[in-house]
Chain A
Amino acid sequence: MAIVVDSLTKQYGVQKAVNDISFEINTGEVVGFLGPNGAGKSTTMKMITCFMAPTTGDVHVEGASILTEAESVKKKIGYLPEHNPVYLDMPIVDYLRFSAEVQGVSKSEIPSRIADMIDRCGLDAEKHKNIGELSKGYRQRVGLAQAMIHDPEVLILDEPTTGLDPNQIVEIRKLIKDLGKEKTVILSSHILSEVEATCDRILIINKGRIVADGSSDTLRQQAQGQELLTIQIEGQGNIEKKLLELKSVEKVAAIAEKDNGFSVQSKPDLSSKKEIFDMCVSNSWYLLEMTGVETRLEDVFRNLTK
């Protein structure tokens, strides 16, 4: 177990930003925190990284508690805070060296670690500049580089791709995916496609609580429950009535834009695809379209966090 979060609560005045959250993350998992703004994603991350103490509860990172062994927890974690704060007046290389020294990387290893990070994060062309002169995408790379400089077991990235252009987003995602092969990664986002593209597992957080936990496929399935089809049939007779007579069909609704188009909801655990096809054959109708409607992660998210 890389990270064990045990009934974590953070209270600001009367408001509970994080309310009794518990979960476990295995070594090597890439986990996405998903939630609307103000759901408690960042607060949870700040507690795991020892930036603020929880009101109650505890977190163990590779066996070390954030309450009693903060220093060793911090050493195991590479953290990229939200908005990626950096020392703007420092040159990149100096900044990386400072991060490495503070994190206790041995003197002899520092130059090779810096070279490795510059290479991996694609900073080679810019390495002699001050951080303040860099564009946002490059600053983000510097943020990632400083988080990884001491080769931590756990990487915690708070909204790592906000404000980047689409190409940069793809690059950073690829970097995170590569990292996920050897490290435990937690990243937060409110962009669903991003979490879907990079994470093995998704935790949806809303109002300080975990409302869903699982891979994107399981989440989708859970939300979907019943099969939903869009069909279009060409033929004579009352198609809607015949559809309703089928054993597996629960509801039928006509689609206004399509001639003889319907959306058909099947009964739980049943599929009506074959029956619809057979019905068309026996009535000599033409089946023009039959598409399964897949619940998008957006819908899951919206249902859970409304």
Chain B
Amino acid sequence: MSKVWIITKRELSGFFDSLIAYVMIILFLGLSGSFTWLFGTNVFVIGQASLDVFYGVAFWSLFFFIPAITMRMIAEENKTGTIELLITKAVSDSQIVLGKFLACLILVVIALLCTLPYYITVSQLGNVDDGSVIGGYFSLILLSGCYISIGLFASSLTQNQIVAFLMALSIGIFFQMLFDVIGSGLTGTMGEFFNFLSVRTHVESMSRGVVDSRDVIYFLSIILVGLLGTQIMLSKRNWK
């Protein structure tokens, strides 16, 4: 476990040394802030003391930002050859993957923590359902976990960061939107199945404050599959 944390620490300091962290946090806050408070169907238009608007914006902005963070995680190491250096140190492939995953997740959690003033402000305006706030943030963190593990997997497939970014987006768009669209076009079990695969279904039920074990298992299994895929791609060099 401590080896994982060493990798995480290095990646995190990399984010903050190289402006990635600041750009990401500022953009995320700027986007989510302006759509929550200033433009479109903002909190004041809705007239309810809830953070639903913010969740809607975060739902999409995380979808775009996370691949931008994860795209370099492994692709860059593949390109510069530092992956060889890392692998030949006394760490296992899974520790490397977990360490990188955690670093990205912590960065996203920091960005989400910066939106806590939204909650404080809204709670001054009226009665906020604390359960749905906790559920909402919890679902955003799990959602980020999914896209991070998908992004890491995409990054492990290539040496090119742009390719990794686009691949992560194109895998992600299925969970973000396409399964939802397919599901609503079908009826019966197939329809239910695709609805279940769509991220939106699970995020919505959780941000109502209902944390169902099925939703949690859904997110955790996507994370697990993504991480396993990444580890397999890293170990590919050992294939005979």
Q: How far is the CA of A72 from the CA of B92 in the complex (A)?
A: 11
The interface residues of chain B lying within 8 Å CB-to-CB of A79 are 85, 88
The interface residues of chain B lying within 8 Å CB-to-CB of A86 are 82, 85
Q: A81-B84, A85-B80, A89-B14 are in contact. Are A53 and B89 (CB under 8 A)?
A: no
Quick check: is B124 within 8 A (CB to CB) of the other chain?
A: no
Q: Of A49, A52, A75, A88, which is in contact with the most chain B CB atoms at under 10 Å from its CB?
A: A52
The interface residues of chain A lying within 8 Å CB-to-CB of B13 are 94
Quick check: is A104 within 8 A (CB to CB) of the other chain?
A: yes
Quick check: is A74 within 8 A (CB to CB) of the other chain?
A: yes
Quick check: is A99 within 8 A (CB to CB) of the other chain?
A: yes
Nearest B residue to A46, CB-CB? B84
Q: How far is the CA of A184 from the CA of B91 in the complex (A)?
A: 22
CB distance from A158 to the nearest CB of B (A): 10
Interface residues of A in 205-226 (CB under 8 A from B): none
Contact B240 A102 (CB under 8 A): no
The interface residues of chain A lying within 8 Å CB-to-CB of B237 are 51-53
Q: A71-B92, A79-B88 are in contact. Are A102 and B18 (CB under 8 A)?
A: no
**Among the listed B14, B18, B90, B240, which residue makes an inter-chain contact with A74, where contact means beta carbons less than 8 Å apart?**
B90
Contact B240 A51 (CB under 8 A): no
Quick check: is A248 within 8 A (CB to CB) of the other chain?
A: no
Contact B90 A81 (CB under 8 A): no
Count of A-B contacts judged by CB separation below 8 Å: 64
> Which of the 9-residue segments B3-11, B24-32, B40-48 touches chain A?
B3-11
The interface residues of chain A lying within 8 Å CB-to-CB of B7 are 102
Contact B89 A74 (CB under 8 A): yes
The interface residues of chain A lying within 8 Å CB-to-CB of B10 are 90, 98
Q: A53-B238, A94-B13, A102-B7 are in contact. Are A87 and B82 (CB under 8 A)?
A: yes
Interface residues of B in 88-104 (CB under 8 A from A): 88-92
1/0 per position for B67-95, CB-CB distance to A under 8 A?
00000000000001110110111111000
Nearest A residue to B87, CB-CB? A51
Contact B81 A102 (CB under 8 A): no
**Among the listed A75, A81, A102, which residue makes an inter-chain contact with B6, where contact means beta carbons less than 8 Å apart?**
A102
Quick check: is B17 within 8 A (CB to CB) of the other chain?
A: yes
Q: A53-B238, A101-B6, A102-B6 are in contact. Are A89 and B17 (CB under 8 A)?
A: yes
Q: How far is the CA of A77 from the CA of B84 in the complex (A)?
A: 14
Q: How many residues of B contact A (CB 8 A)?
A: 22
CB distance from A274 to the nearest CB of B (A): 57
The interface residues of chain B lying within 8 Å CB-to-CB of A85 are 80-82, 84-85
The interface residues of chain B lying within 8 Å CB-to-CB of A11 are 240
Contact A74 B238 (CB under 8 A): no
The interface residues of chain B lying within 8 Å CB-to-CB of A101 are 6
Interface residues of A in 36-62 (CB under 8 A from B): 46, 49-53, 55
1/0 per position for B200-240, CB-CB distance to A under 8 A?
00000000000000000000000000000000000001101
Q: A53-B238, A89-B18 are in contact. Are A103 and B81 (CB under 8 A)?
A: no
Nearest B residue to A91, CB-CB? B17
CB distance from B83 to the nearest CB of A (A): 8
CB distance from B236 to the nearest CB of A (A): 10
Contact A81 B85 (CB under 8 A): yes
Q: A85-B80, A101-B6 are in contact. Are A49 and B240 (CB under 8 A)?
A: no
**Among the listed A49, A81, A88, A102, which residue makes an inter-chain contact with B91, where contact means beta carbons less than 8 Å apart?**
A102
Q: How far is the CA of A247 from the CA of B10 in the complex (A)?
A: 75
Quick check: is A251 within 8 A (CB to CB) of the other chain?
A: no
**Among the listed B14, B81, B92, B238, which residue makes an inter-chain contact with A81, where contact means beta carbons less than 8 Å apart?**
B81
Sample (21) of A-B pairs whose CB atoms are under 8 Å apart: A50-B87, A51-B87, A51-B237, A53-B237, A71-B90, A71-B91, A85-B81, A85-B82, A85-B84, A85-B85, A86-B82, A86-B85, A87-B14, A88-B80, A89-B14, A90-B10, A94-B13, A99-B89, A102-B91, A103-B90, A104-B90
Extra inter-chain contacts (14) besides given A79-B85, A98-B10, CB under 8 Å: A46-B84, A51-B84, A51-B87, A51-B88, A53-B237, A53-B238, A74-B89, A81-B81, A85-B85, A86-B85, A89-B14, A102-B3, A102-B89, A146-B85
Please give the residue numbers on chain A whose beta carbons come within 8 Å of chain B beta carbons, in ascending order: 11, 46, 49-53, 55, 70-72, 74-75, 77, 79, 81, 83, 85-90, 94, 98-99, 101-104, 146
Q: Which 5 A-B pairs have the closest CB atoms?
A: A85-B81, A53-B238, A74-B90, A85-B82, A75-B90
